[in-house]
Amino acid sequence: MKKALIIQGPNLNLLGTREKTIYGSTTLADIDSAMKEFGASIGLEVDTFQSNSEGDIIDKIHAARETYCGVVINPAAYTHTSVAIRDAIAAVDIPFVEVHLSNIHTREEFRHRSMTVAVCAGQICGFGPDSYRLGLMALKQIADKKE
């Protein structure tokens, strides 16, 4: 079975309690569990990782190239600020799908620009926790085509 990784950026560990009107009441543990189950149903073994630290996320991206067929990433606030995460994604030769719970294009102006999407296969946003499911489906399709 192919392995996929979901990387969660800063403050996503607070899902379920932070800004419920934007992010809903689903917790990160709920998302992780659902994505592991969904991944198995489509032939992906899913691992998850969350960090509030940019360096830890970069280290995980670097290590991913040796283990995973691809990565679903929600860089969270780093989406809009991190050239370093963008460069890490570009440096590894596996596909990335960027996801967001909220529609970043309808929020504050500074959230409209993603530093990372240009080095990802695509972006899915605005579908709440289903953004991850859609991201895994896209990643599986991309990985299957690479075979």
Count CB atoms within 10 A of the CB of residue 96: 28
The encoded tokens of residue 99 equal 């996801």
Work out the angle between the directed axes of helices 83-91 and 54-64 (0-180°, nearest 10): 10
105 is catalytic: no
Please tell me what DSSP assigns to residue 125: E
Of 68, 78, 100, 132, the active-site residue reads: 100
First and final CA of the chain: distance in angstroms?
Answer: 13
Q: Which residue has the tokens 């596909």?
A: 95
User: Of the residues 23, 68, 78, 132, which is catalytic?
Assistant: 23
Let me know if 78 is a catalytic residue. Answer: no
Tell me the catalytic residues: 23, 100
